[in-house]
Amino acid sequence: MLRTAATNAIRANSAVLFGARRQLHQTPIAAKNVKETVGDVAHDVNIKIGQGLASAIEKGEEVAQATKETLEKTKEEANQAATAGEQKYDEAKSQTQKAANIGKQKFNQAAAGAKEGKEDFKREVSK
């Protein structure tokens, strides 16, 4: 019991002596001053903004490439349609010329037949 009492007394005295002092330790956050903390936050914000802008630029480039490909495809389709239109025009023009030539031939045949008929009628009447 005496031993327990002595131990308790020593502990009580050491608690008073050492307990009154505060143990301090340094943490990474406590070691930085306000300027360093603001600088770190600004650096983190700058990195996030830079990453966001880089992502936006990449998306813009992708959209530009897709637009370029779409325009090239549309241009190619327009050229094909124009070529097809020119071919149809040439075919129609050719067929119109053929029909006109056939019409001219029939007209000339009819005119020749009418002229021949007129001459035959004149010969018949003059007899």
113 or 20, which is more confident: 113
Chain-centroid distance, C-alpha 34? 45
Rounded CA separation 93/124 (Å): 46
**pTM here?**
0.44
Question: Does a structural domain hold residue 103?
Answer: yes
Question: Does a structural domain hold residue 72?
Answer: yes
Domain coverage including residue 108:
27-126
Question: Does a structural domain hold residue 13?
Answer: no
Question: Does a structural domain hold residue 82?
Answer: yes
User: pLDDT for 4-42, tens place per residue?
Assistant: 766 666 665 554 444 545 555 555 555 678 888 889 999
Question: Does a structural domain hold residue 5?
Answer: no
Torsion of CA 88, 92, 93, 96, to 10 degrees: 180
Half-sphere exposure of 43 (CA within 13 A, CB side): 6
Question: Does a structural domain hold residue 11?
Answer: no
**Phi, psi of 23, rounded to the nearest 5 degrees:** -80, 125
Question: Does a structural domain hold residue 3?
Answer: no
What is the count of structural domains for the chain? 1
